[in-house]
Amino acid sequence: MTDDDGLKPINDSDMDSMFVLPLSIIPLQTPALQSAKLIKNVRLRSAVELFSDVQTGSGQVDVESLPAMFGWPTEQIHPDLGILRRLALLPSYDVYSLRISLREHGIPVNDYAALKLSPEKAAELTRYMIMFTRPLMKMIYSGEDVHIDSYDDLLKLFRDPDIKKARQRLETMAQSLNIDIFDVPRFLEDYGDTFMSLSYFRHCLDRLEPYFTACVQALSPIRTHFQLKQNVNLMKTCDMIEEVINSISASISGRLEVFDKRTREMWENISQDEFRSVKGMIERYHVTIGAALCGLTVKMSSFAKMFPRPNSGGPIKRADFMMSEMIQGIDLIKDVEKQFTAQ
């Protein structure tokens, strides 16, 4: 996020991150790798991070360099190398993309239940969750004086509906869903995770907005610099960076708005089939949205680290960064946009 001092690199906990995969959740044979992480670097390449410290920096190793480092035999592929090669190809390491991608690629996990956001991040997403559940509250508790601060509060209301009108409406809802009234909270809990994924992606996009603005504004001094503006390749690079930021963020926002609309329609015509349809539609886009947000988050976080304030670095330093770091791998983000229309 930003504060009065300017931009800060985006630093989530490992399980809340778009671009960090703690290898402790993967059953690897090499002890040294169990405390390591797989990360997406600024060029959007996957690298094994063996250590990270403010003083020493980040100790990153390419996956293909691991056999030499650990003395793995060359005549056959070490099991850890095979797993890490598949992990390196995944476009995002957010928990929602991982749930789908790990199963699709046959990559084992120590505990699939570990693939969830931290309680702190879940609490941070409450304001987004309430947006999705407000129609439900209106349906069941319309005109009643109830207050909720979290999704858990919502579930508690449905577990013990002590208001007569609410209980009657809840019974009607249970009939529409063709389930017992006592199963409604469990049913909502199952779908709460789908709403949480939408809340998470919306949160990740919203917090990038000031970074997008700062990055695009940083291109202006480059374009107007008397010497730099003569560099045709640099000008094309600036145009591409701005285009990718604008088009991909618009594509993600547009898709999330479609989900919002379908969710509202779902509450108006509530049934198990409608729930499953919306849930399936959202999950089909988890990997695509995750890939786009992962790439943008890595790029914007790197930009913030290099240029935390509007006056950080001059046009030449910014131009070097755009040409050497920002543009590298940006085609991977650009390719994701095609998937929004293809799905």
**28-32, 176-180, 294-298: least confident range:** 176-180
Higher-scoring residue by pLDDT: 245, 143: 245
Q: pLDDT tier at 3 (50, 70, 90 boundaries)?
A: very low
Tell me the pLDDT tens digit for each residue of 74-127.
889 999 999 999 999 999 999 999 999 999 999 999 988 889 999 999 889 988
For the chain, what is the mean pLDDT? 89
The alpha carbon of 185 is separated from its chain's Cα centroid by a whole number of angstroms, namely 27
Give the pTM: 0.89
- Give φ, ψ of 56 to 5 degrees: -90, -15
Tell me the pLDDT tens digit for each residue of 218-242.
999 999 999 999 999 999 999 999 9
**44-58, 135-149, 275-289: least confident range:** 135-149
- Map the chain to HEC letters: CEECCEECCCCCCHHHCCCEEEHHHCCCCCHHHHCCEEEECCCCCEEEEEEEECCCEEEEECHHHHHHHHCCCCCCCCHHHHHHHHHHHCCCCCHHHHHHHHHHCCCCCCCHHHCCCCHHHHHHCHHHHHHHHHHHHHHHHCCCCCCCCCHHHHHHHHHCCCCHHHHHHHHHHHHHHCCCHHHHHHHHHHHHHHHHHHHHHHHHHHHHHHHHHHHHHHHHHHHHCCCHHHCHHHHHHHHHHHHHHHHHHHHHHHHHHHHHHHHHHHHHCCCHHHHHHHHHHHHHCHHHHHHHHHHHHHHHHHHHHHCCCCCCCCHHHHHHHHHHHHCCCHHHHHHHHHHHHHC
Amino acid symbol at 318: R
Polymer length of the chain: 343
- Give φ, ψ of 59 to 5 degrees: -95, 100
Closest CA to 299 of 234, 218, 228: 218
Residue 198: CB atoms within 10 Å: 23
120 vs 56: CA distance, rounded Å:
28
Show the CA angle centred on residue 267, arms to residues 266 and 272, nearest 5°: 65
Residue 126 structure tokens: 């409450």
Residue 137 structure tokens: 């509250």
- Give φ, ψ of 73 to 5 degrees: -65, 145
